[in-house]
Structure 1
């Protein structure tokens, strides 16, 4: 079995500008793959956006984090109600690997590995340009993956922004300055 990055769910830096987070989710692998690739499922934990499953295909991710929990928690200052980001599929091996270009902060890859009746999801976000962005990205991915885990388990997700704010402070303490 693959070593979990952090059994407590926190991401770790594998290089100064590379974050890795893992989650063990209920399977089967095809179900978790659908949460990564199908807009109607992905919008419930991350961002909407239709994607053609082929290397080189471009698409737009649309975040509406206020809609990820009911009722929504207060949005921190400086975050818009909606955020859009053009992206492109850079690697594809269904249902095991999806890698995409991620705006100006580098690439993000998702790897899925069956573990009995569960699926190990490994997310790697590369080339995060600075510490401020790293703290936002770390808290964001952690909270978005917590929502995915809740949905996959059939639980009500925790309020997004409350969790993000708490996690940003925790990552500030955990990650090297």
Structure 2
């Protein structure tokens, strides 16, 4: 297991868990809106509606052309064109502090937990992805979260066009190496 990385890379906190931390422009209610409101969430992750209650449905529509102009690699082409609808379920919610949901995976269902902690005029966002099937899935998921969180940070800071798809291969390679060594 690793301690939090000052370079903001995700860290393995258990054999099946990776955790990310980002210090973002606040307040917490603003960041919460980017987690829960479809029109804001689609700017960095995925659109789609959420029933904001424990047990509620969350149908995320991953359509990456909504936040990047970069062409998708062939294996992810549908995420830039028609989009990919992914079913999730809210497992825990405490606005504007905690949102947890199921996450479809490679043969197993995992869970993602978003936690918000106010720090002055900023908010510490902690994203924990649990119950990952193995090191390959952990590297894949980590590269995706890392790239999506970069887009979120840029968006919250008022930035424009986002680099996304070109980051994925370099992040996958880096995370594969990091997790192989842990």
Taking structure 1 as the reference length, the TM-score comes to 0.91
The reply on whether 1:86 has 2:87 as its aligned counterpart is yes
The answer to whether the Cα contact below 8 Å between 1:22 and 1:122 also exists between their aligned partners in 2 is yes
CA 1:157–1:11 in 2, change beyond 3 Å: closer, same or farther? farther
| Structure 2: gaps spanning 5 or more residues | none
Q: How many corresponding residue pairs?
A: 172
Per-residue deviation, 1:165: 1.8
The residue that corresponds to 1:27 in the other structure is 26
Distance 1:157 1:27 in 2: 21
The residue that corresponds to 2:43 in the other structure is 44
Q: Deviations over 1:28-71 (max 9, x none)?
A: 000000000000000010011111211111121111123321x2
Instruction: Please point out which of 120, 124, 134 is paired with 2:128.
Output: 124
| Structure 1: gaps spanning 5 or more residues | none
The answer to whether the Cα contact below 8 Å between 1:105 and 1:126 also exists between their aligned partners in 2 is no
Taking structure 2 as the reference length, the TM-score comes to 0.89
Q: CA RMSD in A?
A: 1.5
The answer to whether the Cα contact below 8 Å between 2:42 and 2:66 also exists between their aligned partners in 1 is no
Per-residue deviation, 1:5: 2.4
Distance 1:90 1:67 in 2: 27
